[in-house]
Amino acid sequence: MPESAPKQAARGVVTDNLVSLQSFILEEEARYPGATGEFSWIISAISLAAKIIAYKVRHVRLQNVLGEQGEENIQGESQLRMDVIANEVIMRVLGGRSSIAVLGSEEDQEPTILRRGHEGGKYCVLFDPLDGSSNLDTAVGVGTIFTILRNDPTIHDAVGTVCQPGTQQVAAGYVLYGSSTVLVITTGRGVHMFELDAAIGSFMLVKRDIRMPARNKVYSVNEAYTPGFPAGYRRYLEWAHENGYSSRYIGSMVADMHRTLVNGGVFLYPPTKKHPTGKLRLLYEANPMSFLVEQAGGTSTTGTVRTMDVKPRELHERTPLVLGSKDEVAAVLAHFRSPADAMA
Ligand code: P6P
């Protein structure tokens, strides 16, 4: 017996009109009388890039695009062919949008300047084109993460333009290429989820205004690194082991974050011996995820300060990260007796 519409609605499942991402964004745009449609056009480009990447991710062996590119990216990590392909898809789709001034990618050392403010460049888009791509060979969920910032025409160097605190984000989101392809986005008015209907090639609204549960006894961390974690994190994990918590860790941030956003819990990437300032990138991983989490009622911290308050110094800056359900993040911080407990 299928679930009744009222029961589905009570779960936040969208049972009313069929709304595509395109029409949702135009609905949102209509709320702003002065809107020019340029911002909507960027979201539309991200949606197009996501559909192209989704197809390639779902056919990596058939399309023979698994494996290494044979070069290293700026992070010193071996680039996978799909990293390069996803990056090129996004650059080529977004590059054609006339309102974009600067593009910044995890895969590229420097930001790409497309046009200046006086040439119409109103926005900057930063992205991780295929986060977790090392999981592609085992068919684990991977994702694209993006954030949109306003371009500051008074700043003439591209890095300075994009190094804005997370509080300045205009929009942020991710695409999870998992058992289904979902796009989750916020423009500062709640968090909304769309699922790709490949048959019609549209992202369709499936959940409006996602609210993260305040509690869920699940933590997500790579426990293999525990000996190198700062004391506060080790104390928290001991407490969690004694208080009935479950552990879930996929090792693909977008997949771990999507579970945390939908079900609640806490995701942690603390300082480690190998990454004493954390592994995850502030501008195009931590900040977009933090925007989404805060918009869904959760919290995000570096262990010492609110993640979105950090003033970035460089494009590929890394940060420690603790984010998720507000009570679960509080439970982590409760085990830090001083700021030193959060630092390597
Ligand atoms: P570790 C993937 O390489 C990634 O950047 C994130 O997607 C993921 O959360 C993290 O690294 C996993 O890192 O050190 O646990 O393998």
CATH number of the domain within which 251 lies: 3.40.190.80
The answer to whether residues 77 and 116 belong to one domain is yes
- If you average pLDDT over every residue of the chain, what do you get? 93
Q: Say if ligand 1 is within 6 A of residue 222 CB.
A: yes
**Residue at which a domain ends, from 186, 207, 228:** 207
**Which of 269, 277, 284, 319 should be mutated for ligand 1, with most atoms under 8 A from CB?**
269
Query: Taking 70 as the threshold, does the pLDDT of residue 192 lie above it?
Result: yes
Per-residue pLDDT of 220-243, as tens digits, reads: 999 999 999 999 999 999 999 999
The answer to whether residues 75 and 44 belong to one domain is yes
272 pLDDT tier (thresholds 50, 70, 90): very high
Per-residue pLDDT of 241-261, as tens digits, reads: 999 999 999 999 999 999 999
322 pLDDT tier (thresholds 50, 70, 90): very high
Residues 6+ apart with CB under 8 A from 335: 232, 233, 235, 236, 239, 341
The answer to whether residues 145 and 238 belong to one domain is no
Task: Look at residue 7 and tell me if it is in a domain.
Answer: no
Atom of ligand 1 nearest to the CA of 280: 5
Query: Taking 80 as the threshold, does the pLDDT of residue 74 lie above it?
Result: no
**Which of 80, 131, 175, 289 should be mutated for ligand 1, with most atoms under 8 A from CB?**
131
The answer to whether residues 238 and 203 belong to one domain is no
The answer to whether residues 202 and 288 belong to one domain is no
What pLDDT shows up at residue 117? 81
Residues 6+ apart with CB under 8 A from 269: 221, 222, 253, 278, 279, 280, 320, 321
The answer to whether residues 201 and 234 belong to one domain is no
Q: Say if ligand 1 is within 6 A of residue 264 CB.
A: no
Average pLDDT over residues 85-93: 97
What pLDDT shows up at residue 13? 67
Average pLDDT over residues 310-326: 98
Task: Look at residue 173 and tell me if it is in a domain.
Answer: yes
Task: Look at residue 127 and tell me if it is in a domain.
Answer: yes
Kindly give the distance from the C-alpha atom of residue 223 to the centroid of ligand 1, in angstroms, as a whole number: 12
303 pLDDT tier (thresholds 50, 70, 90): very high
For atom 12 of ligand 1, which residue has the closest CA? Answer: 251
Is the CB of residue 85 less than 8 Å from the CB of residue 56? yes
Task: State how many domains the chain has.
Answer: 2
**Residue at which a domain ends, from 179, 207, 235:** 207
Kindly give the distance from the C-alpha atom of residue 252 to the centroid of ligand 1, in angstroms, as a whole number: 6
The answer to whether residues 185 and 55 belong to one domain is yes
The answer to whether residues 121 and 96 belong to one domain is yes
Atom of ligand 1 nearest to the CA of 142: 7
15 pLDDT tier (thresholds 50, 70, 90): low
For atom 3 of ligand 1, which residue has the closest CA? Answer: 132
The answer to whether residues 153 and 224 belong to one domain is no
Average pLDDT over residues 80-84: 94
**Residue at which a domain ends, from 157, 175, 207:** 207
For atom 16 of ligand 1, which residue has the closest CA? Answer: 251
Atom of ligand 1 nearest to the CA of 256: 9
Kindly give the distance from the C-alpha atom of residue 35 to the centroid of ligand 1, in angstroms, as a whole number: 38
- The domain that contains 170 carries what CATH number? 3.30.540.10
The answer to whether residues 161 and 301 belong to one domain is no
320 pLDDT tier (thresholds 50, 70, 90): very high
Between the alpha carbon of residue 105 and those of residues 181, 268, 306, 342, the distances in Å are: 21, 23, 24, 28
Query: Taking 90 as the threshold, does the pLDDT of residue 133 lie above it?
Result: yes
The answer to whether residues 158 and 233 belong to one domain is no
Distant-in-sequence contacts of 80-88, Cβ < 8 A, 24+ apart: 80/130, 80/133, 80/134, 80/136, 82/56, 82/57, 82/130, 82/133, 82/136, 83/107, 83/129, 83/130, 83/133, 85/53, 85/56, 86/53, 86/56, 86/129, 86/130, 86/133, 86/144, 87/129, 87/130
Determine which of 3-12, 121-130, 278-287 has the lowest per-residue pLDDT on average. Answer: 3-12
Q: Say if ligand 1 is within 6 A of residue 276 CB.
A: no
The answer to whether residues 270 and 129 belong to one domain is no
Query: Domain containing 175: what range?
Result: 18-207
Task: Look at residue 212 and tell me if it is in a domain.
Answer: no
- 100-105/123-131 β-pairing: parallel
91 pLDDT tier (thresholds 50, 70, 90): very high
Average pLDDT over residues 204-215: 97
Q: Say if ligand 1 is within 6 A of residue 63 CB.
A: no
